[in-house]
Amino acid sequence: MTEINGADYSVWHSPQNSTVVFQGSLSLGSTLDYTPIIQLLEAAIASVPSDRSADEVSPTLRLDLRKLEFLNSSGINMLSRFVIMMRQQPQIALVILGSKAVIWQGRSLKNLQRLMPTMQVEWA
């Protein structure tokens, strides 16, 4: 498991279940400050198993944002770029787990879905 911790946030990747979990309040200064998280997301894409037979469902990468209470505009930009990157990986399904109790996620996750209509958002 790969993990990045800040004062108010944690992001970790669990390759066993192809999930990247975000939690806390993520408010880094600029898009450049999100580089370690982008690298973690790229590693998560690379670790998704791609060996499957023709009748199996697509491998899935999950982003679990349910415990991410705040994400600033640079962070939303980072997620947008990640979703655009995932469009270039049509063999991998993207599922984002969101929480209706976290206000910023309602509008932002719908906007991400516009960038990648095949992306699924599951609400808790």
For residue range 32-50, list pLDDT tens digits in order: 999 999 999 999 999 998 7
Overall domain count for the chain: 1
What is the Cα–Cα distance from 90 to 67, expressed in whole angstroms? 27
- 3 state SS of 49: coil
Residue 51: per-residue pLDDT: 65
Residue 26, class by beta-carbon neighbours within 10 Å (0-12 exposed, 13-18 middle, 19+ buried)?
buried
Inform me whether the pLDDT recorded for 56 exceeds 80: no
Q: Which structural domain range is residue 48 located in?
A: 2-123
Q: Distance of alpha carbon 50 from its chain centroid, rounded?
A: 18
* CB 102, CB 66: distance < 8 Å: yes
pLDDT for residue 14 is more than 80: yes
Residue 64 predicted with pLDDT over 60:
yes
End-to-end CA distance of the chain: 24
Taking the C-alpha atoms of residue 55 and residue 50, their distance in angstroms, rounded to an integer, is 13
C-alpha angle with apex 122: 91 to 31, nearest 5 degrees? 70
Q: What is the CATH number of the domain that holds 117?
A: 3.30.750.24
For 65-114, write each residue's pLDDT tens digit: 999 999 999 999 999 999 999 999 999 999 999 999 999 999 999 999 99
